[in-house]
Amino acid sequence: MRILVVYGTATGQTRKIVEFLAERWRKQSHTVELCDAARVPRKLAPAGFDRIVVASCVRQGDYRRSVMRFVRRHRDALLAVPSVFLSVSMAAANVRNRDDARRWLKGWVETFSQKTGWRPARVEHVAGSLAYTRYNPITKWIMRGIAEDQGYATDTARDHEYTDWAEVGAFADSLVAPAGAMATAA
């Protein structure tokens, strides 16, 4: 199977997640092309792939602009080829306010769909990280306040990863499974 993975990242966690996916699929003998949405080659032809994964982190309630540009430009291919949207956020790891988190996640994807014209057949939400060591001082202060309010780690001297790698692996396997690969995730 030929799989295209286009991603947008802010602090590197989304890239880490898609690299994990690519490695897993390559070990299963699939061909995977990883492409940073900020540097998409002009010759890229998404319609030539068997699966497409579009992945982006959420920052201030919005996905990466480069990912939105890619989706708008290649919307027809995304609709023609089985494709999935992988949304990476701390809301996906929310430990205190599950109802709020679900509402935020749904709203962010709905806004993304309205802005791009693409309604993915499947959306997978994956928890990201608090990359305190990569934030500027203002972002670090803001994120620490949000983290404290939501029950996340507040030690700003190091980064804190919330990605559930077993869950990401199960998603990877489901996407290349012969039947039901495009079943909608909850």
The domain that holds 84 is classified in CATH as 3.40.50.360
Q: Name the more confident of 61 and 39.
A: 39
Q: Which residues lie below 8 Å from residue 126, measured CB to CB, with a gap of 6+? A: 17, 86, 87, 88, 89, 92, 163, 164, 167, 168, 171
The answer to whether residues 83 and 11 belong to one domain is yes
For 6, counting Cβ atoms within 10 Å of its Cβ (0-12 exposed, 13-18 middle, 19+ buried), the class is: buried
**One-letter amino acid for residue 145 of the chain:** G
Give the pLDDT confidence score for residue 184 in this predicted structure: 45
The answer to whether residues 39 and 95 belong to one domain is yes
Structure tokens at 102: 């679900």
For 73, counting Cβ atoms within 10 Å of its Cβ (0-12 exposed, 13-18 middle, 19+ buried), the class is: middle
The yes-or-no verdict on residue 48 having pLDDT over 80 is yes
Structure tokens at 153: 């780690």
Plot region of 174 (φ>0 → left; ψ -120 to 50 → alpha; else → beta)? alpha
Give me the torsion for CA of 13, 68, 107, 16, rounded to 10°: -10
Average pLDDT, the chain: 91
The answer to whether residues 60 and 151 belong to one domain is no
- Residue 89 is part of which domain span? 2-128+163-176
181 found inside a domain: no
Give the pLDDT confidence score for residue 45 in this predicted structure: 94
Give the pLDDT confidence score for residue 179 in this predicted structure: 58
The answer to whether residues 83 and 42 belong to one domain is yes
38: DSSP letter? G
The answer to whether residues 87 and 153 belong to one domain is no
What are the tens digits of pLDDT across the range 90-126?
Answer: 888 875 567 878 888 999 999 999 999 999 989 999 9
Give the pLDDT confidence score for residue 163 in this predicted structure: 96
Beta bridge partners of 8: 56
The answer to whether residues 44 and 56 belong to one domain is yes
The answer to whether residues 72 and 134 belong to one domain is no
Our count of domains for the chain comes to 2
The answer to whether residues 72 and 95 belong to one domain is yes
The yes-or-no verdict on residue 181 having pLDDT over 60 is no
The answer to whether residues 65 and 149 belong to one domain is no
The answer to whether residues 98 and 156 belong to one domain is no
Structure tokens at 58: 């959420």
Among 105, 94, 90, 129, smallest CA distance to 186 is for 105
What are the tens digits of pLDDT across the range 2-43?
Answer: 999 999 999 999 999 999 999 999 999 999 999 999 999 989
The answer to whether residues 112 and 140 belong to one domain is no
The answer to whether residues 30 and 17 belong to one domain is yes
139 found inside a domain: yes
Q: How confident is the model at residue 186 (pLDDT cuts 50, 70, 90)?
A: very low
The yes-or-no verdict on residue 178 having pLDDT over 90 is no
The yes-or-no verdict on residue 185 having pLDDT over 50 is no
- How many whole angstroms separate alpha carbon 141 and alpha carbon 81? 42
182 found inside a domain: no
Residue 87 phi, psi (nearest 5): -100, 120
185 found inside a domain: no
Q: Name the more confident of 19 and 181.
A: 19
